[in-house]
Amino acid sequence: MSASETAATSTHDGPGATTEAEAGPLIEARGLTRILPGLVPVTLVRDIDLEIKRGEFVAITGPSGSGKSSLLYLLGLLDTPTSGEVLVNGKPTHLHSEAKRARLRLSTLGFVFQFHFLLPEFTVAENVMIPMRKLGKLSHDAMRDEAVGLLSDLGLADHVDKRPDQLSGGQRQRVAVARALANQPPVILADEPTGSLDSKSSEQVFEILRDLVDRRGKSVIAVTHDLDMAARMDRRLHLIDGRLADPPAEGV
């Protein structure tokens, strides 16, 4: 069974899985602007208004340097706007302390980057347990069970006690997806999640993300240069020079 089939047929849906039925958007940006100060200030994004609803698979596209990663980091509360705000579950976040933002990130947002960023000295299961450990809600055994469940769902049951360097690139990225799901966040933010994978692994990871949206009701926001992939998502946000724009008919 392929990883995507495994994920699609999974019954694993641990505590805190998205059963909440709030009607409003999960993530909102209002007038979001980020300017790096300096002798020559650099505008990363400007005047972005958007809403991400529950169960949406949204692509962020645009030319290189158009602000895609910057926008994702702002939506993920990894960076703070110069003006404007990000709301999570309808609640403003701009007055939160860094500790409160960190906790909101841990419980609400899962991150997948182009490179897996797994810690090489830890096993696969231990890597997936890291965000759970930081949230501090579960016992060691419960965290381990949760991690093994998530990894099994992604077709990695036989690899839980291996080190990352014993896995293929595609398998490592699937571990990164499991780690992003560790605290059952309703939103996954992915920065070119398939950007460093071969086409087969890339398709597997895409199918896993698609499945998280379709069958688990997650919202996935993914930066991508792959327009075919973007076309298979539900909606596309296109950036030009840090602003939202209509996507071109063809090409980036």
Write down the H helix ranges in the chain. 3-9, 68-75, 98-108, 124-135, 140-153, 169-180, 199-216, 227-231
Q: Examine residue 76 and tell whether it contacts ligand ATP (CB under 6 A).
A: no
**Alpha carbon distance 161, 241 (integer Å):** 45
Dig out the tokens for 27 from the structure: 């993530």
Closest CA to 88 of 191, 210, 189: 189
Site for ligand ATP in 166-205 (CB under 6 A): none
Q: Examine residue 108 and tell whether it contacts ligand ATP (CB under 6 A).
A: no
Among 69, 183, 184, 202, binds ligand ATP (CB under 6 A): 69
Among 15, 65, 92, 248, binds ligand ATP (CB under 6 A): 65
Least Å distance between CB 192 and ligand ATP? Answer: 7
Tally of CB atoms within 10 A around 193: 28
Least Å distance between CB 7 and ligand ATP? Answer: 27
Least Å distance between CB 211 and ligand ATP? Answer: 26
Between 27 and 239, whose beta carbon lies closer to ligand ATP? Answer: 239
**Alpha carbon distance 179, 186 (integer Å):** 14
Between 54 and 68, whose beta carbon lies closer to ligand ATP? Answer: 68
**Alpha carbon distance 237, 222 (integer Å):** 10
Read off the amino acid at residue 65. G
Among 4, 18, 66, 173, binds ligand ATP (CB under 6 A): 66
Between 1 and 39, whose beta carbon lies closer to ligand ATP? Answer: 39
Footprint on this chain of ligand ATP (rule: CB under 6 A): 36, 42, 44, 62, 64-70
